[in-house]
Each structure stands twice: as structure tokens, then as C-alpha cells.
Amino acid sequence: MTRPPVTVPRWRVTEDEAGSRLDKFLASPNRLGSRSRVVTALDRGRVFVNDVESAAADGASRVDAGDEVCVWTDRPGTARRRPDAVRRSALRIVFEDDDLIVLDKPAGLLSVPLDVREAAASIFEQVEDHLRRSGKRRPLVVHRIDRDTSGLVVFAKHAGAQRQLKEQFRRREPERIYWAVVYGCPDPASGTWRDRLVWDERASIQKETDRKDPNGRDAIADYRVVERFATTSLIEVRLETGKRNQIRIQARLRGHTLVGERRYVFGPDNLRPVAFPRHALHAYRLAFRHPADGRPLRFEAPVPDDLAALFDRLRQGAGP
């Protein structure tokens, strides 16, 4: 068994910290300082508890008083660890012309690279490689979806197209439809979620805030229940605004945490018994006007295999 050297920074869990999630314990300002750094460290096998390596899924585990936690930052062979399936995955191009490219992003892949260049793989880098082979410019970001969210994302190929597309998003014109599996069932079965959110840079999460908070931003989404299961439901969400993690936090604020969610949660893990390796969220439909001639474009991404398998499993448990 590989053990980290004694020179690696170590932290002892106190009585007050006992019962905390491992990722939350490490994300404190005097340790790694952010959840994103913790996720990266776990993904690359750099986190150890009592000299035993922790896996990516162990971020939700609880630490006990007296546990010794360390992060082996320069562990050999972990500089750029990427899941083999992601590294080998083919670029799923839904649409491409001289102005833009629309892709079906798999879960587990960032939309754009993190600030630290050694971070996890991104679809931006894959598109960059694709365009480089054809002698074209680097892609330009129009909008993003979370790493563990699957589905549609668009990049521009030149500044004029990017400017025109981003202006459409700023005016809230594009249609953005997501499918999510949540605990419980929203009541009523359709409606609108309206919240005031603020981004917490230190914790890297969205938080509900007061309507008068000058740093707050409106978050608005329409939802409808598509299918009910035994203890969960499939919902469709149409975004009016597009705040980071918006669907995940708005569903959580109403007691409908996404299945597989690990960041926007409340209470013990046994309240969320459905096993799923990521938050169950899929960017299903995207519609906007072409930046060159204004013609309407509309795209849909099929439900990925992992979500389809989850639907089947939930239906089997729902009874007749």
C-alpha cells in the first residue's frame, strides 16, 4: 500500500469537526480552500485519511474525531489524471458550420478548463483539437453547463458569432430545457421557481439571499413533472435565467434535491437512498437564432445511457 511521505501537510479532525463530510472538511480556508480543489485532489488520488487513499466517491464520507487527513499534492503519476472513458470519448458534434459548433457533452467533462491548467479534461480542449486539425481558430465560449451535467453546449468560431450569441443569452431568448430526477414530487405539478441567489466564491456554491442584496441575482425557471416514480420524479425545467448551478439549488430550496447531488444537500445521506454517480441533470434541448442570418435552430440531445438506466430502475421500483 502506498503511503504519503511524512512531509505532506496533515490535519487532525477535532471533536467539533467530527461528522463533517470529507470534502467539506478539506474545503475550509485553512486547508484547500475550495470544493473544486478538493474534487480535483480526490479525482487524482491525492487525498488520504489515516494514510489510506480516498476515492472520488469518498468526498461524501464522514470524518471522525482523531482522523488524520492529508493531501499529497505532488504525488507521482497524478499530475493530469483523467478518466479513460472521458479521454477516449469521441466528440459528439450535433451541428457545425463556419460560425458555431453545437455538442452533446458527456457527464464528467468540464465545459471549459479550470484556472489551473493541469485540471480535469474539458470539452473546450476537445473542440480546440478538432478545430486545430482543420486549420481554424480556437473556439469561443458562449455558455457553460456543469461538469457532471450531460447534454447540449454551444461554442462560437469567431468573435462576431460569439458576440451575437451571447447577446441572445443576455436577453434570455434561447430555449434551454433540462431534464432532472429529483427526490419527492413538486406540488403543484407545474409552475415557476423564482429566487434571489448570490454566488459564494469561498464555498463555490449558490446561496439564497435577500431581495435587497445588491450582489444577488434573480433566478427564474419554469418546471413541470414529466413522470412520477415511487419516491422520486422526473421533471422538465425551462430556464429563463441561466445562473451557475441554478436548477440544482432551486430544486434543493424546495426540498427536491437532485438524485446523485453532492453539493446542494441537507440532512443525513439516508434521506437520499438512490445510488447514482452524478447529479441526475441533462441539458436536453437548446434553441436559438443563427448568429449570421437569424434562422431558428433547435437541437435535442438523447438521454445518455446512465440516465436511461436510472429511469428503468426507478420505474421498476414504482409499482404498477
What is the model's pTM?
A: 0.72
Long-range contacts, stretch 123-131, CB < 8 angstroms, 24+ apart: 123/91, 123/153, 124/155, 126/91, 127/91, 127/101, 127/103, 127/155, 130/91, 130/93, 130/101, 131/101, 131/157
**Terminal-residue alpha carbon distance, the chain:** 49
Q: Which helix (H) or strand (E) segment is 119 a member of?
A: none
Where is pLDDT greater, at 252 or 211?
A: 252
Which position among 146, 200, 218, 305 bears the catalytic label? 146
Where is pLDDT greater, at 3 or 316?
A: 316
Annotated active-site residue 146? The verdict is: yes
Where is pLDDT greater, at 139 or 250?
A: 250
Look at domain 10-71 and name its CATH class. Answer: alpha beta
Give me the CATH code for the 84-316 domain, please. Answer: 3.30.2350.10
Instruction: Provide CB contacts within 8 A for 299, sequence distance 6+.
Output: 94, 95, 102, 152, 285, 286, 287
* 139 preceded by a cis bond (ω within 30 of 0): no
Answer yes or no: same fold for 10-71 and 84-316. Answer: no
pLDDT tens-digit profile of 12-47? Answer: 999 999 999 998 999 888 898 887 788 888 877 889
Q: Please report the pLDDT score of residue 269 as a whole number.
A: 80
106 confidence band (pLDDT: 50, 70, 90) = very high
Q: Which helix (H) or strand (E) segment is 179 a member of?
A: strand 175-183
pLDDT tens-digit profile of 137-187? Answer: 788 999 999 999 999 999 999 999 999 999 999 999 999 999 999 999 999
Residues, the chain, total?
A: 320
Q: Please report the pLDDT score of residue 88 as a whole number.
A: 46
- Mean confidence (pLDDT) of the chain: 88
Domain ranges of the chain: 10-71, 84-316
pLDDT tens-digit profile of 285-297? Answer: 999 999 999 999 9
